[in-house]
């Protein structure tokens, strides 16, 4: 077997700082990262979007990811070793590798250490070191709606199943239509070659009737990262001809997670 000189192997950096955060239960960290990393951008055209934003202060850790079509935010409330808040962007590939490690190891404590432009995750005998993306994350809070014209609470499992069926009849742009009426949500899709689909599920509706179109893939990704029996959908109609208003998906009875998705603009 032909090998290479050990001297050519890159030096592993040493980070000897104290942990700024300790996750007592690794499964909580794994779940939180899994809920957001799917929203990170594949392209590195905007480097900040290709990673996961970590925001930390003395009382919480928050993870955020977006590709500009959808956004996920997860907040874990815990005490941290910080005198002032800090934020950094960690590459998507690092987060995916960390999730894999956490899934293979027995549940335990994870220490998060911040060095000079690098981070270190420690779990038992495993150390994962990564660079930090040198880019400024945008003020994403501006795009999260604070109020809604229409809200509907439905069964998460029933909604996912009906979206998957509707997706069979969606067009090439993966579009399905939501039509919210009193006490129910209708899901419609149509393809010139395959035919059309129409189904409905019951729910608790507040606000006005509304129709809105989504990419079904984005909806399914968000919904499958929620474990509660019911979800709340917050919807708004299009804001004129210039932009679409994002929709919000939240688990009912569980704080700390929000999924934002842009609808498909109608012409």
- Tell whether the model's pLDDT for residue 26 goes beyond 80: yes
- Give the pLDDT confidence score for residue 252 in this predicted structure: 98
| % of the chain surpassing 90 pLDDT | 83
The CATH architecture that domain 17-141 belongs to is: Roll (3.10)
CB atoms within 10 A of CB 222: 24
Specify the domain boundaries for CATH 3.10.150.10 within the chain: 17-141, 145-261
Greater model confidence, 26 or 10: 26
Q: 223 with 164: CB under 8 angstroms?
A: no
Phi, psi dihedrals of residue 180, rounded to the nearest 5°: -95, 125
Phi, psi dihedrals of residue 169, rounded to the nearest 5°: -105, 10
Q: 5 with 107: CB under 8 angstroms?
A: no
- Average pLDDT score over residue span 51-60: 97
- Give the pLDDT confidence score for residue 267 in this predicted structure: 66
- Average pLDDT score over residue span 68-96: 96
pTM beyond 0.75: the answer is yes
Assign domain 145-261 one CATH number from 3.90.1010.10, 3.20.20.80, 3.10.150.10, 3.40.50.2300. Answer: 3.10.150.10
Collapsing DSSP to helix, strand or coil, 103 comes out as helix
Closest by CA to 184, choosing from 170, 166, 165, 198, is 198
Query: pLDDT tens digits, residue range 117-157?
Result: 899 999 988 999 999 999 999 999 999 999 999 999 999 99
- Average pLDDT score over residue span 170-199: 95
User: What is the spatial distance between Cα 201 and Cα 188, in angstroms, rounded to a whole number?
Assistant: 12
């Amino acid at each position: 077997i032909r090998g290479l000189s050990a001297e050519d192997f890159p030096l592993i950096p040493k980070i000897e700082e104290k942990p700024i955060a300790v996750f007592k239960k690794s499964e909580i960290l794994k779940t939180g990262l899994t809920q957001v990393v799917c929203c990170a951008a594949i392209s590195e055209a905007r480097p900040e979007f290709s990673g996961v934003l970590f925001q930390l202060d003395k009382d919480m850790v928050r993870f955020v990811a977006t590709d500009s079509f959808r956004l996920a935010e997860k907040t874990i409330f815990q005490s941290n070793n910080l005198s002032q808040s800090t934020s950094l962007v960690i590459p998507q590939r690092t987060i995916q590798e960390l999730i894999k490690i956490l899934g293979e190891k027995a549940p335990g404590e994870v220490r998060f250490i911040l060095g000079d432009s690098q981070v270190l995750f420690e779990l038992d005998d495993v150390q994962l070191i990564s660079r930090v993306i040198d880019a400024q994350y945008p003020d994403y809070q501006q795009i999260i709606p604070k109020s809604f014209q229409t809200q509907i609470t439905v069964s998460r499992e029933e909604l996912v199943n009906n979206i998957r069926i509707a997706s069979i009849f969606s067009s090439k742009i993966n579009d399905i239509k939501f039509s919210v009426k009193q006490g129910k949500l209708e899901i419609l899709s149509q393809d010139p070659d395959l035919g059309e689909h129409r189904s409905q599920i019951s729910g608790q509706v507040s606000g006005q009737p509304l129709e809105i179109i989504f990419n079904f893939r984005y909806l399914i990704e968000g919904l499958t990262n929620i474990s509660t029996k019911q979800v709340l959908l917050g919807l708004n109609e299009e804001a004129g001809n210039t932009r679409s208003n994002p929709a919000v998906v939240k688990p009912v009875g569980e704080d700390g997670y929000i999924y934002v998705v842009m609808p498909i603009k109608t012409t």
